Amino acid sequence: MRGRRGRGASSGDVVVSSSLSSVPRLVIAAPSSGSGKTTVATGLMAAFAARGLAVSPHKVGPDYIDPGYHALATGRVGRNLDAYLCGPELVGPLFLHGARGCDIAVVEGVMGMFDGAAGEGELASTAHVAKLLGAPVVLVVDASSQSRSVAALVHGFASWDPEVRVGGVVLNKVASDRHEELLREALDSAGVPVLGVLRRVAQVDTPSRHLGLVPVAERRAAAVEAVAAMAAQVSAGCDLEALAGLARSAGALSCAAWDAAEALASSPPPPLPVPTLGAAAPRPPLRPERPRPQTPDGLDCATRPRTPEGLVVAIAGGAAFTFSYAEHSELLAAAGAEVVPFDPLRDEQLPDGTRGLVIGGGFPEVYASELSANEPLRKAVAALAEGGAPVAAECAGLLYLCRELDGQPMCGVLDARARMSGRLTLGYRDAVAVGDSVLAPAGTRMRGHEFHRTVVEPGAGAAPAWGVRAPAPRVEGFVQQGVHASYLHTHWASEPGVARRFVERCRTS
């Protein structure tokens, strides 16, 4: 594919050429969290997009919030690359899937560059993903409290793993021209070029709360301003042509792009749960439909043609439920579902014809009063679940299905109560399905991630969803009728049969 030149092209514009397997790409890493990765990565995405390039945005790890800012910067779905949740073998294919039709890709790292899954070495670290992608790394360094020492820091990160290529550094929070001069002098001896220098700018700061940045959906206008400020700062302080040139140095990947329909076709069909008494006979399966082009919010499926059955799977969205991997919707669509988003804060009924419901993560604890006030929808969700329809709920979805959240009535599907807690629960989990459910047969092993400051009491039902082996063996979650509710966030690309099983249950319930 030919590269595109920015509008009003001149000799200073960034020009990038690519084919799918050799799409130019950069990984934005840092020595630690809080160094400025999100500012640089998001600003760079927006700066390239402003010059007419189609930019593919990616985030290392399971985080849902940063990809929302990436989507705002690029106009494309922000996608995660998680070597723990999906396995190292899927990082390249999922990257190429997201990068279809793009001129350049920017991958924001996670934590410090070499920090990954606890006790698993480099697995799922930014360095690991950079190696899997054969991508050069740009190291973002918070230089606010150092001068000559920056050279030792950069040298250490550049030389620690010879398979990771640190191609340049961006100095963040530089205090003055004199400070910049001292930093550049020191880095001359480290052999790593300075590709950008950013001064501290207050308006680039984005508000945080108990689980990190406030999602885009909750502060749309302010988020647009923040992304614009990041883009302006990166454009003014970074050498975009040099960064694009570094991105072009990435070689071709040997893998093929991931495809939802192909993933379903190649995954063995799992056995189905026994339909509820009185259920209609199963309908003949549909030929999987290739997903339609992605949209910036990852859930706007209104342009998809209705399936012959009108097999509607509703997915919760809006400000209270912002966490969803785009591949989940794509797999459901490929399995024959018509994926329709709805907003539990605004919509009083489920979408017409809803046969299944997916409620992902988010912040229902912030909107407990508003969710509780929407009694018609709470009753509709309860009726759907009571009728045996498949319902998949993760984390925020689990809280919404409880009897109450912080004393506010919720859907009452589960005989459990949820409340905020001062304790952060965070980390990867290796889980196994305790019994059959609408998502997986007993014994299915999946990897997940927990990230919350809430407690559900009891933590598991009579039929738990998962057995978790670490950090301490336990069972958690709920399976009852067609409901599968759990704190674990999983990535269905690692087990595509989950989506097919869910849609088949929609047909038979």
Q: Which residues are catalytic?
A: 395
Asked whether the CA dihedral 299, 303, 305, 309 is positive or negative, the reply is positive
CA distance 387 to 506: 12
CA distance 297 to 181: 42
CA distance 4 to 14: 9
CA distance 205 to 222: 11
CA distance 345 to 257: 36
CA distance 379 to 479: 20
Strand pairing report for 312-316 and 354-359: parallel
CA distance 505 to 16: 46
Q: Do the Cβ atoms of 445 and 431 come closer than 8 Å?
A: yes
**Amino acid identity of 454?**
T
CA distance 509 to 506: 6
* 74-113: burial string, b at 16+ Cβ within 10 Å, e else: bebbbbbbbbbbbeeebbbbbbbbbbeebbbbbbbbbbbb
Q: Radius of gyration over alpha carbons of the chain, in Å?
A: 23
Residue with tokens 């087990």, as numbered in its chain:
495
CA angle 209, 450, 364 (to 5 degrees): 50
CA distance 93 to 77: 16
Strands in 338-342's sheet, in edge-to-edge order, are 338-342, 312-316, 354-359, 391-394, 483-486, 478-480
Which tokens is 488 given? 């674990």
Cα of 394 vs its chain's centroid, Å = 14
The end-to-end CA distance of the chain, in Å, is: 46
CA distance 509 to 498: 16
CA distance 483 to 357: 9
Q: Do the Cβ atoms of 215 and 363 come closer than 8 Å?
A: yes
Classified as helix, coil or strand, 443 is: coil
Which tokens is 221 given? 């206008």
